[in-house]
Structure 1
């Protein structure tokens, strides 16, 4: 059975266009998440923030977070459709981004001389996303497309010449794409820095003088910085430049580290997720290089993989979705061994089937832990719509969107006010903000059970307010948790 797998895989891939194969695999891998507004707490919040932005609340000013504004811009079209239609919309946008990224993975693998394993490598990228919370609209799902597009634009060509102005145009486009990627997630800067240095090295290899390289370097840096400069200038023009700067940069430096055992656990999970792709890529590294142009593309791909690993390691925290950017160059490099080595060809089908099966188990487990659209809709119905405000001490940001109730704080991502690592890193004293929130007497308060990394003194402070001014309305199931709902004893006049 295993010995026949290369022929089976080859016939299966050759029977239909590559894009159709990748689209089919992506739909198959992700379909059980479609319509679920709480696939992950992050994208739940991105959608909620985009919704509030459309209602007039400004990011960093009225809704606080440290993500770049470009990420919320991506979610705006979907948020405009409301719920539940908007949930399907952003997930379809994410699906399209995944398929286009996979197509470019296969295309770059082709250029590296790994044609026979290119489609399988792209399929593995799609399937491995499910191992790391990439089954929805996490930020790397979108910025991976911008990053790989930047690399694809500047792949080495046989006809490359020093005096060809098209080469600089392609380099400029690549750096602008990286600038856009950084306005989705700033961690793209490490891969962008590598590509910028590679472009200058490539200029040197083609005979460029130091003066010429210096003249090229400055505009490339400016193009990579341009989207961030424009974003800051837009906020500065309306008097909120400092809010933008602190949220996007200052708060990152102020944030504390997680507890050591949480960091270690996160890191080990990430190692486990990446190990198969990195092992495949390491086997490709040992394979002989063919012609010079293909060899240049291979060198670029492996350099990119090293840069992405550096970016993953240096950021710390090591949440599983931090592995998603590494999967792109890893899948490209894995294509060589999968398609050109006897063992790799025999492993192709088991890898695809195993990754699909394990990925579905991971996604189903996540749904059981985090919850479903029906649970959120039932919880939102219990809260109801009305003039009274809602405060999520801890819980799902989607409740703001589903109930359309007002917020009493701009820190609507709950853990910003309750997590240890956020103490002193969100622009406000957490305890004082909790007191201020309860002084405003929100009509409803949502509180899930304690979680690792939560500040117990902040929870105790919130519970003291609840005991004094609120009655427990009941508890509702969300995933594997029972989440408490509190209602003000006396609704203040409005």
Structure 2
């Protein structure tokens, strides 16, 4: 059987139908993960920061983490409206994924037709939801949900008032994920260049001014509550200086990001040589520039985690889709029933998780699972003293026990050893060892929750891991092991 993709253009699809389809696809893939304690530790930190905001504490005042405030506002809004609900947070996360995929569809439809739009949107939904820790709600998910409609507006409209809306969306993008400022900066320079090249300098500068005003407006709104409370310096240190210092510390290596960058650059060189991409086309130039800006931010940070790639997937998929459409052999191919089987097997992680939660329900009477849920439940059921509890792992437990991290820097356990963050977090300790000794020797937690692994912190923190292991072995006993979690109680 020969299947002709050129005859499948999806012309009858309405925007609301596409959005509903993408939401349902994302829901099907992500739904079994709604019941996990956490999927990525960052998500747990965002929840803690959001809860603190709901209780009246601005981000960085009571708790601290290395993200701009709009990320925490997203979680705070959901918690304020729905209470402590994993399901509510992850349904809204699914909605965010659908929004990004929908605007990927809209852009793809404009630059390459309905067929390109729908297939890239489906791929975008899958890549934002599978393969790693992407089933949680990450700051990358939120940032691209603002960025993609902003790109769509710039591609589609040429009026200053639309550019002001795009600027607002880009301000939200930056105040969700600061590294995307690089992509937005190169985009602005590109738009300025195009206004010169097209001899529309007056309109181009007017659009750029309103684009910048929209972005600055959002940024100033995030500063306002800090200004009102005489905490502007705290905002500056936490939102601007700390991320820059973290990037400068360069915990990764150029070798970590080089393979990904070389593959992407090689792809574009091949597409240019084969003339599969028209780099004279303004829209393709714009999408390419954004990819370059995001790649530069990866190089600047010296590291690419799996969830970092969420930022590049939507735009990259559009360009890849345009290349595939231009390759003659991709326009027609012989359909084989095995291809359908392959497509059905793509969300294998979801199938396995569906099985796991059904099994968990049968064995333990609840769909909710994971040490981050079961440890707090055990502590509550056995009336253990939680007057000062330290989670070195599974720190979502603070949320479920109505407790707070013992120090600001320990909100995310990995930050305990990120010394470059100390000057901006408000801690008075100067070294990671001093922070650990303060937590263990001075606060003396009644309970410490750890994972059954060799290191408590990153493996390069050799002395910190050794000291923590020795101290816990001397002053604590393991009273319960739940899967990989160890509940340690202080010896009297």
- TM-score, with normalisation over the residues of structure 1? 0.80
Q: Does 1:192 align with 2:184?
A: yes
Could you tell which deviates more after superposition, 355-364 or 250-259? 355-364
- For residue 406 of structure 2, what is the aligned residue in structure 1? 408
- For residue 164 of structure 1, what is the aligned residue in structure 2? none
Shift of 1:185: 0.7
Shift of 1:454: 4.9
CA offset digits 1:249-277 (Å, max 9, x no partner): 222333333365xx745765x579x8699
Q: Does 1:169 align with 2:161?
A: yes
Residue 183 of structure 1: which of 175, 186, 193 is its match?
A: 175
CA offset digits 1:26-56 (Å, max 9, x no partner): 2232222122231111112111221233234
- For residue 397 of structure 1, what is the aligned residue in structure 2? 395
CA distance in 2, matches of 1:67, 1:26: 25
SS at match of 1:52: helix
Q: Would the aligned equivalents of 1:418 and 1:459 in 2 still touch at CA under 8 Å?
A: no
- For residue 472 of structure 1, what is the aligned residue in structure 2? 478
Q: Would the aligned equivalents of 1:176 and 1:226 in 2 still touch at CA under 8 Å?
A: yes
For 1:349-428, what aligned pairs fall within 5 Å after superposition? Answer: 354=342, 357-361=345-349, 373-384=369-380, 388-392=387-391, 394-411=392-409, 412-418=411-417, 428=429
CA distance in 2, matches of 1:259, 1:153: 35
- For residue 275 of structure 2, what is the aligned residue in structure 1? 286
Q: Does 1:234 align with 2:233?
A: no
CA distance in 1, matches of 2:24, 2:265: 23
Shift of 1:346: 5.1
CA distance in 1, matches of 2:302, 2:215: 24
SS at match of 1:434: helix
Q: CA 1:320–1:425 in structure 2 vs 1: closer, same or farther (change >3 Å)?
A: farther
Instruction: Give ranges in structure 1 of 5+ residues lacking alignment.
Output: 161-166
CA distance in 2, matches of 1:353, 1:178: 40
CA offset digits 1:50-84 (Å, max 9, x no partner): 1233234442121111200110000113323344x
CA distance in 2, matches of 1:348, 1:298: 30
CA offset digits 1:77-135 (Å, max 9, x no partner): 3323344xx21111111111111211111111111133322211111111122235332
Residue 315 of structure 2: which of 329, 332, 337 is its match?
A: 329
Count residues in correspondence: 463
Q: Does 1:447 align with 2:450?
A: yes
Shift of 1:415: 0.7
Q: Would the aligned equivalents of 1:50 and 1:75 in 2 still touch at CA under 8 Å?
A: yes
- For residue 70 of structure 1, what is the aligned residue in structure 2? 70
Q: Would the aligned equivalents of 1:171 and 1:220 in 2 still touch at CA under 8 Å?
A: yes
Could you tell which deviates more after superposition, 47-56 or 417-426? 417-426
Shift of 1:142: 1.3
SS at match of 1:131: coil
SS at match of 1:244: helix
Shift of 1:460: 3.1
CA offset digits 1:287-342 (Å, max 9, x no partner): 3769x9xx433332233333333333333221111111111111222232444544
Residue 223 of structure 1: which of 189, 214, 228 is its match?
A: 214
Q: Does 1:457 align with 2:463?
A: yes
Instruction: Give ranges in structure 2 of 5+ residues lacking alignment.
Output: 357-366
- For residue 307 of structure 1, what is the aligned residue in structure 2? 293
- TM-score, with normalisation over the residues of structure 2? 0.81
Q: Would the aligned equivalents of 1:19 and 1:103 in 2 still touch at CA under 8 Å?
A: yes
